[in-house]
């Protein structure tokens, strides 16, 4: 029967396709899921004496994330230091996202409203820092912010301040550094959204008695919101796991999760705790992504 | 007199660009539009009709001259300070809002109380017969429905003047006819001054109280549809509004002499004391074809069948081409074979004299 021979051919084709993609699938499984699995397993093991892990099941690492056991009298207290680091990471990441939006939206708007021929140049200028090493860029920011740096020298020359402001090695320095590093990630999706925006709607807004501010808030922003959400995800997620910027500009004192994890695998010699912290970071990022997806797909009755 | 005028353009000029690249879209146009009038700006694309509309809306400021509304100079007012609303050619509905939210937008921006916004929105939805779609997003609507929402949105704040920028051009023929009578109904019901921009002469003739015919940044003639059709001011207007036959002739007190020497009688009130070289203009439906030997000799070159009527293309001995429109005979008479010699009667009181 022709239909059964067709079915057979179809089955053979499907099988061949699976076979052909097997090497790629194996590579993906080993390369992406494998390391993640190792980290997950390590978080349930005991810390080794000098580093590494002892292959004994233990929930100590997960316990240590939130609680601190006194080594002398075994009393249990909340691990304030860890919570502070978590809170700082989330707070700085949120502030970075807000800062990149505040600077990124006007930038993207400016580029999208240039003549088409000029836009490529402006976009190129925005992406130039991408081609430079992150560490070098961060040290450049350090040069601007330090006590004898460009900013303080300038402010003292003008006479606004008499003694340098301590910006370097503070949360503010980390915030400025991350906002600078991640700004292009906000500008690009925002630009794409504004570029698609129909500017005749702005005229319609003015025609219907909206002020400039109302046109921005009631017409432009709601319509380019998907771009802002995409940009926020692109900025927030890497901010949360940032390592280089808080390390250089925060001076080791103002740690973020990334640095704290690094500490556990290095001087802290507590690989399971580092692994557990990595899993927590993964969960926070996943939760943030889920929340964004929920917000962006939800039908908002007020636009 | 002044309190019956809604909008007035006083020598409004608009120039884009500078120096040698400057383009003047509008050349010192003056026009008075009365309250409650359905006024149409008619002209080919690029004639400046949309520019004039944008000056009235406030999207552009005049290079020189003024725009007045209700006896006040509003040239410097931004669009959100003018009690004038626009129905855009692209509709420009807000895609993130529902039909009802679109309609209520203007009132909300004016800071009207929530209750009034809701009431007026419901009223407008009823006016354009869109009650059942109040909660829809505008992207889910058909072209005709979007058109109605755009209209309701512009009418909701009760503007003194409603501007319509070729709002029907995106609709198909049947829907366009429907919307034409719908627009006329809305204008009568609301009593708002409508300024309508179109390049479609039929649309202009059927809907307007008065028409301003524009070309190359000037208004060539302003008048009621009938006056513009029967007494066009010049060759451009005669040619743009409906089909017209043009015949070059020398006019004297009794009539006109064609280049071939034939004489045509013209009614004295049409000549109005003029003489010299002029263009005779005659609508296709005013030409009458009679058997050869009578009237002006002509040759039938070909005829086109249109169902209700037949367009006969004729040539005078000097080569001038004319079109005569006649009712198609019920018996389907095939008398109009190409090459036939016929006579042409030009009714003396229908001939227009246009100075070149």
Q: What is the pLDDT of residues B181-224, one digit of tens each?
A: 888 988 998 899 999 999 988 889 989 999 999 999 999 999 99
Whether A209 and B157 have beta carbons less than 8 Å apart is answered as: yes
Which helix H or strand E contains A235, and what residues bound it? helix A221-240
Distance from C-alpha of B321 to C-alpha of B333, rounded to nearest angstrom: 23
* pLDDT surpassing 60 at residue B93: yes
A303 has pLDDT over 60: no
From B59's Cα to the closest Cα of chain A, the distance in A is 7
Per the CB < 8 A criterion, the answer to whether B264 and B351 are in contact is yes
Q: How far is Cα A296 from Cα B246, in angstroms, rounded to an integer?
A: 64
Do A107 and A8 belong together in one domain? no
Q: Per-residue pLDDT for A126 more than 70?
A: yes
pLDDT over 80 at B234, yes or no: yes
Whether pLDDT at A300 is above 80:
no
* A88-114 pLDDT tens trace: 999 999 999 999 999 999 999 999 999
Cβ atoms of residues A239 and A178 within 8 Å: yes
Q: A301 falls in which pLDDT band (50, 70, 90)?
A: very low
One domain, residues A134 and A228: yes
B149 in Cβ contact with B93 (< 8 Å): yes
Q: Is the pLDDT of residue B241 over 90?
A: no
What's the pLDDT score for residue B41? 94
Q: Give the phi and the psi of residue A232 in degrees, each rounded to 5.
A: -65, -40
| Residue with tokens 């002739």, as numbered in its chain | B249
Task: Say if residue A5 is in the same domain as residue A144.
Answer: no
Which pLDDT band, with edges at 50, 70 and 90, does B335 fall under? low
| In the predicted structure, residue B46 carries a pLDDT above the cut 50 | yes
User: Which residues form the domain of A141?
Assistant: 78-299
Let me know whether A291 and A213 are in one domain.
yes
- pLDDT tens readout for residues A143-182: 999 888 899 999 999 988 888 888 889 999 999 999 999 9
Domain-embedded: residue A55: no
Mean pLDDT for the stretch of residues A245-252: 88
Same domain, A84 and A38: no
- CATH number of the domain residue A238 falls in: 1.10.3720.10
Give the SS3 label for residue B321: strand
Q: In angstroms, what separates the C-alpha of B73 from chain A's closest C-alpha?
A: 18
- Give exposure, B159-175, as e/b (b: 16+ Cβ within 10 Å): bebbbbbbbbeebeeeb
ipTM of the complex: 0.81
In angstroms, the first-to-last Cα distance of chain A is 57
Query: How many domains in chain A?
Result: 2
pLDDT digits 0-9 by tens, B98-121: 999 999 999 999 999 999 999 999
Contacts of B93 in chain A (CB under 8 A): 204
**What is the pLDDT, as a whole number, of residue B333?**
52
User: Are the beta carbons of A206 and B157 separated by less than 8 Å?
Assistant: no
Q: Are residues A129 and A248 in the same domain?
A: yes
With CB atoms and an 8 Å threshold, state whether A208 touches B97: no
* 3-state secondary structure (DSSP) of residue B24: strand
Average pLDDT, chain B: 88
Q: Which residue has the tokens 């006083």?
A: B10
- What percent of chain B lies above the pLDDT cut of 70? 97
pLDDT of residue B334: 53
Are A36 and A113 part of one and the same domain?
Answer: no
* Residues A255 and A193 placed together within one structural domain of the fold: yes
Does residue A277 sit in the same domain as residue A214? yes
Average pLDDT on B48-63 reads 93
Question: What is the C-alpha radius of gyration for chain A, rounded to an integer number of angstroms?
Answer: 25
User: Tell me, what's the pLDDT at B209?
Assistant: 94
Task: Determine the pLDDT at residue B128.
Answer: 86
How large is the angle between the packed helices B143-155 and B99-109, nearest 10 degrees? 20
- State the pLDDT at residue B1: 47
| Whether residue A4 is found in the same domain as residue A115 | no
CB pairs under 8 A between A and B: 64
Q: Are residues A294 and A226 in the same domain?
A: yes
Residues 6+ apart with CB under 8 A from A174: A92, A245, A246, A249, A250, A254, A256
Q: What is the average per-residue pLDDT within B8-28?
A: 89
Which domains are delineated in chain B? 5-235 (3.40.50.300), 243-354 (2.40.50.140)
Residue of A nearest to B163 (CA): A207
pLDDT of residue B122: 94
pLDDT score at A299: 47
**Among the partner residues A203, A209, A211, nearest to B59 by beta-carbon distance:** A203
pLDDT band at B96 (very low <50, low <70, confident <90, very high): very high
pLDDT of residue A2: 54
Separation of first and last alpha carbons in chain B? 34
What's the CA gap between A115 and B225, in Å, rounded? 43
d(CA B71, CA B321): 50
Q: Are residues A94 and A35 in the same domain?
A: no
CB contact under 8 A, B80 and A204: no
């Amino acid at each position: 029967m022709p239909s059964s021979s067709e079915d057979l051919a179809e089955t053979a084709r499907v099988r061949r396709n699976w076979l052909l993609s097997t090497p790629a699938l194996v590579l993906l499984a080993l390369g992406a899921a494998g390391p993640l699995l190792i980290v997950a397993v390590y978080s349930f093991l005991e810390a080794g004496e000098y580093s590494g892990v002892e292959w004994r099941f233990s929930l100590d690492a997960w316990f240590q994330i939130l609680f601190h056991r006194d080594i002398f009298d075994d009393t249990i207290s909340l691990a304030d230091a860890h919570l502070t680091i978590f809170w700082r990471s989330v707070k700085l990441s949120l502030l970075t996202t807000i800062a990149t939006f505040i600077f990124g939206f006007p930038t993207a708007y400016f580029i999208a409203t240039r003549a088409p021929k000029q836009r490529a140049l402006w976009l190129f200028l925005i992406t130039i820092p991408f081609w430079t090493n992150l560490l070098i860029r961060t040290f450049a920011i350090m040069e601007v912010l330090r006590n004898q740096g460009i900013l303080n020298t300038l402010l003292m020359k003008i006479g606004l301040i008499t003694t340098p402001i301590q910006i370097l090695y503070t949360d503010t320095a980390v915030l400025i550094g991350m906002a600078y590093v991640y700004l292009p990630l906000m500008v690009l999706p925002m630009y794409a959204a504004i570029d698609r925006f129909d500017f005749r709607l702005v005229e319609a807004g003015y025609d219907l008695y909206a002020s400039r501010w109302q046109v921005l808030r009631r017409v432009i922003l709601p319509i380019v919101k998907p771009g802002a959400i995409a940009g926020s995800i692109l900025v927030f997620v890497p901010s949360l796991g940032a390592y280089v910027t808080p390390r250089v500009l925060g001076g080791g004192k103002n740690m973020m999760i990334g640095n704290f994890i690094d500490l556990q695998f290095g001087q802290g010699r507590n690989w399971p705790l580092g692994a557990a912290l990595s899993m927590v970071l993964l969960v926070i990022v996943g939760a943030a992504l889920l929340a964004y997806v929920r917000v962006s797909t939800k039908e908002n009755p007020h636009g | 007199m002044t309190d019956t005028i809604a909008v007035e353009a006083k020598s409004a000029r608009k120039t884009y660009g500078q120096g040698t690249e400057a383009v003047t879209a509008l050349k010192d146009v003056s026009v008075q539009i009365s309250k409650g009038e359905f006024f149409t700006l008619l002209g080919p694309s690029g004639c400046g009709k949309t520019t004039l509309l944008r000056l009235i809306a406030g999207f552009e400021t005049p290079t020189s001259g003024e725009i007045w509304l209700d006896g006040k100079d509003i040239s410097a007012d931004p669009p959100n300070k003018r009690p004038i609303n626009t129905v855009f050619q692209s509709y420009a509905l807000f895609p993130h809002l529902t039909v009802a939210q679109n309609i209520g937008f203007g009132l909300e921006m004016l800071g009207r109380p929530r209750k009034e916004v809701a009431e007026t929105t419901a009223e407008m939805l009823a006016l354009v017969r869109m009650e059942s779609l109040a909660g829809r997003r505008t992207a889910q609507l058909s072209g005709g429905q979007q058109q109605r929402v755009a209209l309701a949105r512009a009418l909701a704040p009760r503007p003194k003047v409603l501007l319509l920028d070729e709002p029907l051009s995106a609709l198909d023929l049947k829907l366009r006819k429907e919307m034409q009578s719908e627009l006329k109904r809305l204008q009568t019901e609301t009593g708002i001054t409508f300024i309508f921009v179109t390049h479609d002469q039929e649309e202009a003739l059927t809907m307007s109280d008065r028409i301003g015919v524009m070309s190359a940044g000037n208004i060539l003639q302003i008048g009621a549809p009938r006056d513009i059709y029967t007494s066009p001011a010049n060759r451009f207007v005669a040619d743009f509004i409906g089909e017209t036959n043009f015949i070059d002739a020398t006019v004297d007190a009794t009539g006109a002499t064609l280049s071939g020497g034939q004489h045509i009688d013209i009614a004295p009130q049409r000549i109005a004391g003029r003489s010299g070289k002029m263009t005779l203009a005659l609508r296709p439906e005013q030409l009458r074809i009679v058997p050869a030997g009578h009237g002006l000799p002509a040759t039938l070159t070909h005829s086109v069948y249109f169902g209700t009527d037949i367009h006969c293309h004729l040539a005078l001995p000097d080569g001038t081409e004319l079109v005569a429109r006649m009712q198609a005979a019920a018996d389907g008479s095939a008398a109009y074979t190409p090459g036939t010699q016929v006579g042409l009667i030009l009714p003396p009181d229908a001939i227009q004299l246009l100075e070149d």
